A = this chain, B = another copy of it.
Amino acid sequence: MATSTTKTGAPLDRATFESLLRRRLFYTPAFEIYGGEKGLFDYGPPGCALQNNLVDIWRKHFVLEEDMLEVDCTQITPAAVFKTSGHVDKFADWMCKDPKSGEIFRADHLVEQVLEARLKGDKEARGQTVEIDQAKDAKRRKKKVKDVQAVQLDDAIVKEYEETLAKIDNYGGEELGQLIKKFDIKSPETGVDLEPPRAFNLMFQVTIGPSASTPNGYLRPETAQGQFLNFQKLLEFNQQSMPFASASIGKSFRNEISPRSGLLRVREFLMAEIEHFVDPESGKRHPRFAQVKDTKMTLLNRNVQLEGSTKAEELTIGEAVASKLVDNETLGYFLARIQMFLLRLGVDYSKLRFRQHMANEMAHYAADCWDAELRTSFGWIECVGCADRSAFDLTVHRNKTGASLFVRETRAEPLRIEEYQVDIDKKRFGPKFKKDAKAVEQAVEALNQELREKMSLELEKEGRITLDVPAVGNGRVELEKDLVKIEKRTRVEHVREYTPNVIEPSFGIGRILYCLIEHVYWSRPEDDARGVLSFPPPVAPTKVLLVPLSGSDELRPYLQQLTYKLRRMGISSKIDDSSASIGKRYSRNDELGTPLGITVDFQTVKDNTVTLRDRDTTSQVRASEEEICAAAKAIVDGEETWEDVAKRLPKFEGQEVD
């Protein structure tokens, strides 16, 4: 069992945890009254508020602080774009169909699952301990295999299975089909032979407009392409100044073969993506790298993984870049900024690591890639990818469309290039070669520097050169020095033209949201049926719960006034004037993660004081309404902690006892 713990280190029981999320409507399977649709979820009020806060903090942390150019591009995308980007050909998984039941299996997951089950049975038969890597298991979202049978295998077969599993991400469809035959893998449901694997593209197709008879577009699987296509306009908006970054927050789609694990593998999801465009010749240095270089991070590098280990090491990002473990400053800068963002949300540092992709694991466009992974009851979950996409996308779109997806830059120092140049005497060329003149001229122009140098010497020495012109005469043409001159000269280049490289931090907001909730979840020892979600105040869906001690009409105006006052201060609050006890109302809101509670009671009517309760400690202070509102604001804005407030305002003990 992967050990998965609550915020306070107790074992995390996923069933209890998920029941809290359902009970409090953080999210819910979509279309449940219609029987539901796998991989689609709706966010209820607390989930939606939480998502809005994550997006808001993301925008402040990245777009505003880094002066990025945020764009909002359409989800519906013409097919040609994804043909060029490679998604039409490569963004696919292999699937096998059970011809009897019609059920569909992801081919690589099926092979993996069956071989692992057999190896497990073998270990059992040999009387060895069976360790289950629950993390790995969950990530692969397997179909359940029928009971593992304790059957011992030949040593050679064990070895073959293990080698196959180690390379499972490398197989194409044909190879997977061969493995299925070779290892006699049948449908886990019906036991019959499966149909051969076929590619299933993970993009949803759409038909744009009334005239197309077949689909001519896709729902985007990432927000990136819209940013690339607008590169030239963004560069101009940025007054031709490099480097710069664009950013985009929006829905993307993947038609998963078999969605599993709640919010972790879904068909429609919110992404936040940054495309940082950088000059490849700049060494990808970053001007603010010095500000982050001492940030300690947990890094799991490629080589350690190749050795079959998952031992991560903690070092500063400065050290990691200096040792070339992380390729360049820009990549390192973003890794550090990603970590700061996640910690700001309330992610547990001890459950965060950055894992480098292995070469065969990267997306088809990536030159290097690190994932920020968060540890949960489903194992380590990739929540943010940070890839160096090199110049791939801008180059392919430029080649396809001819659009100016590059930078033209006046050189600070003009570039002086020494080179051999060719002069042709056109007046003599025509009469001499007649209809072949053009072909001969082209052959001369096409000579590379090396040949030009050689021929220049020859021309000087022999007074003539001979070169291949296949279409003319016997394929060899002789030129005398009155027809052609080849000289070494200096050319001065004032403008430089280059295609920027792209560093792409890409955030799965739904995954971060789910993992964060696991990280802040715990229960009080005295009441383990009820959970507490300790979101940092800026992240919490609602900031303040307002509770009247009783339903008395006398208290109502004070609640209205508090609501109004807090709203003016930009603090969201909710009144709970239900008939449940104060204690019950507070614990309901502990489950919603509301950090503060203000209680209005009959003392309030006398002296206008109210109490303020802290979610995490359940301790309370009492002071004037004005002081309490100011304290709430200081906590919500992160300017004071509860400890600060508890020190300076009088402690209150009383209501929680009901």
Establish whether residues B31 and A211, one from each chain, have CB atoms under 8 Å apart when the complex forms. Answer: no
Per-position contact with B for A219-231: 1 when CB-CB < 8 Å, else 0? 1000000100110
A499 to B165 alpha-carbon distance, docked (Å): 56
Residues from chain B with a CB closer than 8 A to the CB of A232 are: 33
Q: Does A271 contact B (CB under 8 A)?
A: no
Q: Does A380 contact B (CB under 8 A)?
A: no
Establish whether residues B71 and A45, one from each chain, have CB atoms under 8 Å apart when the complex forms. Answer: yes
Residue in A72, A78, A200, A204 with the greatest tally of chain B CB atoms within 10 Å? A72
A261 to B484 alpha-carbon distance, docked (Å): 60
A236 to chain B, nearest CB (A): 8
Given the known A-B contacts A33-B401, A34-B81, A239-B578, are A74 and B206 also in contact in the complex, defined by CB atoms under 8 Å?
no
A240 to chain B, nearest CB (A): 9
Given the known A-B contacts A25-B237, A49-B70, are A208 and B267 also in contact in the complex, defined by CB atoms under 8 Å?
yes
Residues from chain B with a CB closer than 8 A to the CB of A24 are: 237
Q: Does A295 contact B (CB under 8 A)?
A: no
Nearest B residue (CB) for A250: B251
Establish whether residues A31 and B229, one from each chain, have CB atoms under 8 Å apart when the complex forms. Answer: yes
Given the known A-B contacts A31-B229, A75-B251, A81-B34, are A45 and B70 also in contact in the complex, defined by CB atoms under 8 Å?
yes
Residue in A24, A45, A257 with the greatest tally of chain B CB atoms within 10 Å? A45
Residues from chain B with a CB closer than 8 A to the CB of A95 are: 210
Establish whether residues A30 and B211, one from each chain, have CB atoms under 8 Å apart when the complex forms. Answer: no
Establish whether residues A210 and B30, one from each chain, have CB atoms under 8 Å apart when the complex forms. Answer: no
Q: Does A234 contact B (CB under 8 A)?
A: yes
Residue in A210, A267, A567 with the greatest tally of chain B CB atoms within 10 Å? A210
Q: Does A425 contact B (CB under 8 A)?
A: no
Q: Which residue of B34, B74, B236 is within 8 Å of A30 (Cβ)? A: B74
Establish whether residues A40 and B71, one from each chain, have CB atoms under 8 Å apart when the complex forms. Answer: no
Residues from chain B with a CB closer than 8 A to the CB of A140 are: none
Residues from chain B with a CB closer than 8 A to the CB of A397 are: 33
Residues from chain B with a CB closer than 8 A to the CB of A219 are: 206, 219
A256 to B234 alpha-carbon distance, docked (Å): 29
Q: Does A460 contact B (CB under 8 A)?
A: no
Nearest B residue (CB) for A588: B239
Per-position contact with B for A10-41: 1 when CB-CB < 8 Å, else 0? 00000000000000110010111110011011
Nearest B residue (CB) for A40: B74
A sample of 7 inter-chain contacts (CB < 8 A) reads A32-B229, A34-B81, A42-B230, A44-B233, A52-B59, A76-B268, A209-B255
Using a CB–CB distance below 8 Å, which chain A residues touch chain B?
Answer: 24-25, 28, 30-34, 37-38, 40-45, 47-49, 51-52, 59, 64-65, 67, 69-78, 80-81, 95, 102-104, 200, 204-211, 217, 219, 226, 229-230, 232-234, 236-237, 239, 251, 253, 255-257, 267-268, 397, 401, 403, 405, 567, 572, 574, 578
Known: A30-B74, A200-B210, A206-B206. 18 other contacts (CB 8 A): A30-B229, A32-B229, A33-B229, A33-B401, A40-B74, A42-B71, A44-B71, A44-B234, A44-B237, A45-B71, A45-B237, A48-B72, A51-B72, A103-B211, A207-B255, A209-B256, A210-B257, A239-B578
